[in-house]
Amino acid sequence: MSQEHGTTKEEEKKNFVVEGGHQLSGSIVTNRSKNGAVALLAASLLNKGTTRLNKVPHIEEVHRLIEVLRSIGVTAEWDDHDLTLTPPAEISLDTIDRVAAAKTRSILMFIGALIHHFPAFDIPQSGGCTLGLRSVRQHLWALERFGVSIETLTDHYHVTHDDLSPETVVLYEASDTATINALLAAARIPGTSTIKYASANYQVQEVCGFLQLLGVDIQGIGTTTLIVTGVPEISKDVTYTVAEDPTDAMFFIAAAVSTHSSLLIERVPIEFLEVELNVLEKMGLHYTVRPVGLSENGITKLADLSIEPSELVAFPEKIHARPYPALNIDNLPFFAVIATQAEGTTLIHDWSYEKRAIYYTELDRLGADTVLMDPHRIQITGPRHLRGAELVSPPALRPATILLIGMLAAQGTSILRNIYSINRGYEDIVTRLRSIGAQITATS
- Are 66 and 192 in a shared domain? yes
- Are 266 and 209 in a shared domain? no
- Are 19 and 59 in a shared domain? no
Domain assignment present for 222: yes
Q: How many domains does the chain have?
A: 2
- Are 267 and 328 in a shared domain? yes
* DSSP H helical ranges for 236-384: 246-258, 274-282, 334-339, 356-360
The answer to whether the CB of 169 falls within 8 A of the CB of 225 is no
- Are 277 and 312 in a shared domain? yes
Q: Is cis: bond before 375, omega within 30 of 0?
A: no
Domain assignment present for 2: no
Domain assignment present for 140: yes
* DSSP H helical ranges for 173-269: 176-187, 202-213, 246-258
Domain that holds residue 413: 9-31+244-443
CA angle 419, 422, 426 (to 5 degrees): 140
| Among 131, 126, 74, 120, CA closest to 100 | 126
Q: pLDDT digit of tens for each residue in the chain (444 aa)?
A: 344 555 534 345 589 999 999 999 999 999 999 999 999 999 999 999 999 999 999 999 999 999 999 999 999 999 999 999 999 999 999 999 999 998 888 899 999 999 999 999 999 987 544 434 445 788 888 999 999 999 888 888 999 999 999 999 999 888 999 999 999 999 999 999 999 999 999 999 999 999 999 999 999 999 999 999 999 999 999 999 999 999 999 999 999 999 999 999 999 999 999 999 999 999 999 999 999 999 999 999 999 999 999 999 999 999 999 999 999 999 999 999 999 999 999 999 998 877 789 999 999 999 999 999 999 999 999 999 999 999 999 888 889 999 999 999 999 999 999 998 898 889 999 999 999 999 999 998
The CATH number of the domain holding residue 346 is 3.65.10.10
- The helix or strand, by DSSP H or E, that contains position 333, with its residue range, turns out to be none
Domain assignment present for 1: no
Spell out the residues 6+ positions from residue 431 whose beta carbon is closer than 8 angstroms to its own: none
- Are 225 and 296 in a shared domain? no
Domain assignment present for 4: no
Domain assignment present for 75: yes
